[in-house]
Amino acid sequence: MTLLIASLFTAGITIGGLQQASAGEPPPTQPFETEKFYTETDKDFKQNFVGTPLLFKDGTFVFGTSDSQTVKAVIDKNGKIKSYNPGQYYAVTKVTANEHLDNLWIFEDDLDCTDKTGISKMNPAKLPGGAYVAIMCDGVTEDLSDELAESGALRFHPDGFVEAHVDDVPAGCMVFLGVKYSPGLKGEKAEEVDRPFCENWEFVCLSQDDVPTTTEPLGNFPDECKSASFRDSAHRILEVTGLPDFVPPVACEDCLVETGEFIDDCIKDGGNPEECTELGISFLSECAQTCDPINCEGCQAKAGASLFACLAGGGSEEKCQGIFFEVLLECVQTCEPVTCEECEDSALLIFLFCQTTGGSAEKCFAEVETFLSACALTCEGTPEEKLEICEGAAFFQNLACQQTREGPLVC
């Protein structure tokens, strides 16, 4: 997709509604035109279904421009996102009929905003409450939401987004589809939001099972539009502003090196060596808690950083060893092993931690069996390597069984 086409999509205007025309002839009028924008849920909205559009970063809004519309994050004293301003908003599609439309289909593809980035959350997540459909003819508006939802013409598409089907749209009328959202990042740490924007697409098409007459690439059009007589799309980006710059977490294996550099820089800047060392211990402890193990191989580095931070802070060997295994266990239970060999290494660590924390043989064998069974499904390896992991799971399952009252003959 060229930069020009991308900018046209971003502007919320359409590019695909052009029917093919002979060279030198002006293109015929397209059956409808599509606009896409976000707006507030204020009193003006129900009067004209345009309402008060969300603003650009410079505090303005002009239809047909390429700027992203914005909401501003409201952050509490703990650095978590409390809400947005505004706290509720609509993603609106406006379709203007240039001729009578027998069958109009509108698809609100918001999955990038809801499922992928989590920026927006449909509220309420039901129909018709979370979405509306209205038609405006000669300045008179009719809300079709209840009627269409009852008949199934306003529904959730199998892919998860909202779909609306409207029949017999007179020329000159405007059809609106709006989906209502609330802050999806509520409760998230503001500094950990690595992608504060999302793309909202709208796909619109006419009657089905006809030969397409447009040059619009199929792209991400739903199957229902791929054989339509006319199809069009619109696009808008929503951005959350007011967030601190995202700083990627340090890799766990770099915590000790980063701590050493921190202490050296502190002393070079004139700091007292003892005070710099204390600050370094705090730095190491924070790094151990927030670092990214990347994969299961990094779990030992994460646990090791926690161990060193504990010992440097004056913790006893017994206490720090317990912290080491606790961090290690939590990490290996949530990490994603890259190779099947890592499954075996992590399973051994789980077993050792279970034993050192007083777990019974039955409990420890069962924990290893559960972990290996899950790990075999996701690890990367040959079928033989995966089979070996499964056999290991079966072996530990049998050991756990033998620890019960039934005894080895039953197992």
The dihedral of CA 36, 37, 43, 47: what is its sign?
Answer: negative
The pLDDT of residue 245 is above 60? yes
Q: Which CATH superfamily is domain 3-241 in?
A: Immunoglobulins (2.60.40.10)
Closest CA to 89 of 223, 198, 251: 198
One-letter amino acid at 117 equals T
Nearest 10 degrees: CA dihedral of 396, 399, 404, 410? 110
Per the structure block, which two tokens stand in for 90? 């609509």
Strand 32-40 and strand 89-97: the pairing is antiparallel
Q: Does residue 65 or residue 96 have the better pLDDT? A: 96
Does residue 322 contact residue 357 with C-beta atoms inside 8 Å? yes
Q: For residues 281 and 4, what is the distance between their CA atoms, to the nearest angstrom?
A: 52
Average pLDDT over residues 45-72: 79
Q: For residues 107 and 159, what is the distance between their CA atoms, to the nearest angstrom?
A: 11
Q: Is 344 exposed, middle or buried (0-12, 13-18, 19+ CB in 10 A)?
A: middle
> For 51, how many CA atoms within 13 A lie in the half-sphere containing its CB?
23
Q: Does residue 63 or residue 155 have the better pLDDT? A: 155
Q: What is the pLDDT of residue 362?
A: 83
Give the bridge partners for 348, in sequence order. Answer: none
Q: What is the pLDDT of residue 153?
A: 92
Q: For residues 398 and 392, what is the distance between their CA atoms, to the nearest angstrom?
A: 10
The pLDDT of residue 210 is above 50? no
Does residue 121 contact residue 114 with C-beta atoms inside 8 Å? yes
Q: What is the pLDDT of residue 406?
A: 55
Average pLDDT over residues 69-87: 91
Q: For residues 101 and 83, what is the distance between their CA atoms, to the nearest angstrom?
A: 40
Model pLDDT for residues 329-352, shown as the tens digit of each residue: 778 767 766 678 778 777 877 787
Does residue 370 contact residue 390 with C-beta atoms inside 8 Å? no
The pLDDT of residue 213 is above 60? no
Average pLDDT over residues 167-184: 94
What residues contact residue 146 under an 8 Å CB cut-off, 6+ apart? Answer: 128
Q: Is 110 exposed, middle or buried (0-12, 13-18, 19+ CB in 10 A)?
A: buried
Does residue 190 contact residue 113 with C-beta atoms inside 8 Å? no
Strand 231-241 and strand 69-75: the pairing is parallel
The pLDDT of residue 78 is above 70? yes
What residues contact residue 272 under an 8 Å CB cut-off, 6+ apart? Answer: none
Output the CA angle 277-281-286, nearest 5 degrees: 145
Q: For residues 104 and 174, what is the distance between their CA atoms, to the nearest angstrom?
A: 11
Which letter, b or e, does each residue of 268-301 get, where b requires 16 or more Cβ atoms within 10 Å of its Cβ? eeeeeeeebeebbbebbbebbeebebbebbbbbb
The pLDDT of residue 19 is above 70? no
Average pLDDT over residues 289-313: 82
Per the structure block, which two tokens stand in for 211? 């030969």
Give the bridge partners for 239, in sequence order. Answer: 70, 197
Q: Does residue 217 or residue 35 have the better pLDDT? A: 35
Q: Does residue 355 or residue 106 have the better pLDDT? A: 106
**Where exactly are the structural domains of the chain?**
3-241, 252-402
